[in-house]
Structure 1
């Protein structure tokens, strides 16, 4: 029986009245990491668990909690003791989904306004509860972390994929080579376009920065440099979407089909089908036979109608069908030399010979179709009884060890990426998963010798035991040092230690990744996707600007450089067009929609309203043309956000410094724009007037 009495309440420290508290229900691995991340936000955190935590993955966990309550989080009395009425958010992250859902009901009854962040993978139920309860969001840690393992397994230059507004976004890591067309020509800021944004940059002698925008925008790309950027590619639309959504007329639709991407896509589909047919000889033979029989059927019907106009087309159609199925004698009434049928007496000889040819040809082609159909049925039956499995890939495949829920999800994602994969499990699997991928059920050590490990692309180890994962990874590396190793763990300190001791391994902490998503959702952020970026997790976060938000009224330049995020989508109102990679001078207002890339530290700064200081100032020297005074003032007002009147007065009293401080990237952009308008300006450090 679960404890629920007041005697089970254990205060960790004296609690003061708080109006903005967070409650974590369940102090397992995920719950402990959620507490740690919430404290990084500066939140006041209480917790409920059924018993005093025995295994602390966060060593100072108890000191991070304002209060710890021992009891059943589904019971109203326990939730009331935990000050549910004063909570901003309740995170229900126990390992039991039923408990989480029942506790969500109890919390909603006690506090109709509290935000509910629930651990659950019941997608349909979660959607229904979100509509019914309101202010409800649910995540499943296995699904959150699976994409990270799948992308790490690919091991190429693509760090992340996600989709927004029917557009595909791709995060790319690229090392500049001597032959690269960007080498020795392009400055970093020149790579930013309407469809691309630079996320990180480092020269060949320095590591990648830990935050966005921590590089010199004027630096030139040289061979050996590393650059990470995000780009957007348009997703192809179907003909139905083109015709209905965009409302083309027929001429425009024809131009789209013939000249546009749709026609190119159709050609690619046809080429793919041809390649598919070339690999399956039986299918090719069946199609040829079928087309031939159909042609003879139609052609024979026409010949009979032309020679016997008074006959019924239906009768001719069925007569040819009988001939093709070997019914020559049926059509001609048991023909013999002594008693020829009446209908054969007046028939031309060539037509009777043609009918005989139809019968012989039909017997041959229809017989082939029967044989192919029989072969297919027997093959499928033998495969079913013999438990047929796909063959093990020979090279460039992923070896997936541990086919639990995370492993099966990773396998499904790798198949979506068209990546060959082979699975290894030491225990039997459910019938639904068998035959989906090549599979070896055996001792892990013996199985590694059967998967062509030396020619594999990567080894992903995702069993439920951290130490077993490490042991298997070390064995795999010893057998194939060139193969990339990806390890699953639940403890972020274990992750950090392993990553430092074994730099060839990529270690992903499931609980740490999931906790960042749960914590961000606890503050009301809408998490759309995530990916791993240089040992840290980058979240794709959607904001709807409201009154009192720390983002309200800011320029996107201030949001990006002040909080360390990358805006990738902006929409003024829900009905207005979406802008990808929006301009820095865009100003946010109430009702706007903004999607950014951010790490946990960036989200914490946005929540607290703590911006990086503006340390640069633009000194404007002179104008080289009279019309530059007007245009220069407009540009200053747009980029810096200062009042247009102040900007015009400044341009009439040169030389003078811009009276507002800017971020370096913002100031450099202003200098470049002014230079194009024939206004001389340069950067200088901002010195705040203390008088």
Structure 2
């Protein structure tokens, strides 16, 4: 939730001053808040040299103890960040903190997803992250030579962040930037060749034309994942379940079609023969019951079943039949027995195939190492495995390198070279690789491996994982050709943002800045309450990408700037940590632009113009009508440049001549 900038709870407590904890303190202090800290022992060598000066109060002790938490002034704190390297300590400290302060926000470091969900339900106002896995997507994307800079899912929609260079053949060449925006797309940044990147996020000139050599970064909502999230029906068992649960659904036909397309030839034969034998079985039951009315339905079913499983000799094996039977029913019985025998043979074949497949599953070999244009991933701990999963989702050819072998079930579709990493580099076609990601838990080893790979393949994208901030700076300075990502530096921004009550859904790196996907639930005292999305976007420098009205089922991706937030609304934005700071403090930029309305071509244009002004500017309808009845006149309601430009364009579409000016006169 967004917070009122004047809230009295402006103190925070950080437990654990390892790498992550020190980064969290540093980021929190950028908000200008009070930060106390608890550490189990005195720290002799600080990773961030000036950190002791940033901590307002440092307590040495065990953060699980109530008296230590009280010394950290937990009762006056707005949030506590428990980020020690021991998950057991973190969880125990969370319970202790909740017992002392029922309202404090708990932000802990934990990788136990199921436990975290239970803790959230029981403790309330709780969020947990795994610091080492948060940057995994940044590592994966840094290795790609594609234009994609980030991707995430939101409400079953896939959202992509793309950075694309413009040339003369591009469809956006010579278009105005605001024309690129659409119902599913928002421009994030625009840069000219040779010009420095803008420090502020979401800043671009609305009336600028896109020229060759420019670079545009944008976000777009693309694929609806509802259909894709349903696993394809590829087995007889899944098909039967679909038939039993979906007989009344309209998509039954599509399920059958999908099953047929996705199934192997063996499964298709089994499916068709199964339907055929069931039909013959039912026909046999009906024929015997109709021909011999004195037998029961159970006896008729039994006769048909015996014939279906090849029991012809049990009924007709005697020299003299014990009951009369017509020739056509006798012929049908023979046909049913033959069909049943064939079907049983097919079932035996399928069972044998499954048994053999299960028998040799353990000895199944991994795929071969790609020859060229692949990603070499070195280090397959928790972070490395998550990076590998992401690269596989992106359909990237990949080979993993790890000091020890992995279980056959772990990343089974990925080629793997295990053993001494330095020797393994000779076996992964490193000279033809397009990217190398080094994410072992030893940053010195990561540097050495990075230098070796660059010497062998200087054209490959090189991504190196580091931990120590000073080490990261030195490596980045020494290796300008490499992407050096500090794992904790990226994660700390998510922890700090969560401490203020914001729900960080995802993060990615764009233009050398960490961008957070952040969710707000609007409350009465929020700095966002009652504002138009245009004011939020251009005043705070954040990008609204999703809005849901309170109490309404419908929601909107890339919502209109004219939308006004009310209590209970849900808003998801893209923002840097600086943007979240501005929202937190209510530090909104000053509006400086005005709209000068010259004339209206008709009385209908006067009426429509007033409605447009009220909607886009957010002013009172009476003010808008008064303006339209006194033309020419300037709207005495300052706007942001993008907002004013859009208002002038919309007025022109309604036959009202208008222009934007910097001063009201």
TM-score, length-normalised on structure 1? 0.81
The alignment partner of 2:387 has SS state of: helix
Q: Does 1:26 align with 2:16?
A: yes
Task: Please give the secondary structure, in 1, of the residue aligned with 2:97.
Answer: helix
Of 395-404 and 289-298, more deviation after overlay is shown by 289-298
RMSD: 3.8
Which residue of 44, 57, 82 corresponds with 2:47?
57
- 2:220 aligned partner: 231
8 Å contact kept, 2:389–2:411: no
User: In structure 1, which of residues 405, 418, 425 is the aligned counterpart of residue 382 of structure 2?
Assistant: 405
**Distance in 2, Cα, partners of 1:587 & 1:375:** 62
What is the aligned counterpart of 1:95 among 85, 103, 124? 85
Quote the Cα distance in structure 2 between the aligned partners of 1:572 and 1:378: 56
Structure-to-structure mapping, 1:124-523, within 5 angstroms:
124-153=114-143, 155-184=145-174, 186-206=175-195, 208-233=197-222, 235=224, 273-274=259-260, 276-277=262-263, 280=264, 282-283=266-267, 286-287=270-271, 327=311, 329-333=313-317, 340-342=319-321, 348=327, 366-367=344-345, 369-384=347-362, 386=363, 388-392=365-369, 397-417=374-394, 419=396, 421-429=398-406, 433=410, 435=412, 437-453=414-430, 458-492=435-469, 494-495=471-472, 498-499=475-476, 501-523=478-500
Separation in 2, partners of 1:454, 1:319: 71
Match of 1:632 among 609, 625, 636: 609
C-alpha distance in 1 between matches for 2:470 and 2:562: 41
CA distance in 2, matches of 1:50, 1:637: 58
The structure-2 alpha-carbon separation of the partners of 1:352 and 1:140, relative to structure 1 and needing over 3 Å to count, comes to same
| Equivalent-residue separation in structure 1 for 2:146 and 2:364 (angstroms) | 34
The unaligned stretches of length 5 or more in structure 1 are 1-17, 242-252
Shift of 1:479: 4.2
Residue 247 of structure 1 is matched in structure 2 by none
Greater Cα offset, 23-32 or 620-629: 620-629
Contact 1:634/1:647 (8 A) holds in 2: yes
Cα deviation for residue 81 of structure 1 reads: 2.1
Q: Which residue of 1 aligns with 2:3?
A: none
Cα pair distance change 1:343/1:187, threshold 3 Å: farther
> In the alignment, is the contact (CA less than 8 A) between 1:661 and 1:686 conserved in 2?
no
Question: Which residue of structure 2 aligns with residue 557 of structure 1?
Answer: 534
In 1, Cα distance between the equivalents of 2:266 and 2:70? 70
**1:541 and 1:598 in contact (8 A); partners too:** yes
Change beyond 3 A, Cα 1:557–1:492: farther
Contact 1:289 1:366 in 2 (8 A): no
CA contact (8 A) 1:332 1:344 kept: no
Which residue of 1 is the match for residue 238 of structure 2?
A: none
Cα displacement string for residues 105-142 of structure 1 (whole angstroms, at most 9, x for unaligned residues): 22223333322211122333333333333322222213
More divergent stretch after superposition (115-124 vs 205-214): 205-214
Structure 2 partner of 1:6: none
Equivalent-residue separation in structure 2 for 1:355 and 1:497 (angstroms): 85
3-state SS of paired residue (2:132): helix
Q: How far did 1:357 drift?
A: 7.1
TM-superposed CA distance for 1:381, in Å, is 1.3
> SS of 1:46's equivalent?
strand
Aligned: 1:619 with 2:596: yes
What TM-score results when the alignment is normalised by the length of structure 2?
Answer: 0.84
- Render the CA deviation track for 1:638-662: whole Å, top value 9, x for unaligned: 3333444444444455544433432
**How many residues get paired?**
641
Q: Is the 8 A contact 1:574 1:593 kept in 2?
A: no
Residue of structure 1 equivalent to 2:26: 36
Q: What corresponds to 1:4 in structure 2?
A: none
1:289 touches 1:369 (CA, 8 Å); kept in 2? Answer: no
Q: Which moves more between the two structures, 602-611 or 133-142?
A: 133-142
CA distance 1:468–1:114, shift in 2 (3 Å)? same
Deviates more, 1:604-613 or 1:121-130: 121-130
SS of aligned partner of 1:141: coil
Residue among 587, 611, 616 paired with 1:610? 587
Task: List gaps (5 residues or longer) in structure 2.
Answer: 1-7, 231-245
Task: Note the alpha carbon deviations across 1:461-514, whole angstroms, 9 max, x for none.
Answer: 221122222333343444445543333222455445545554553333221121
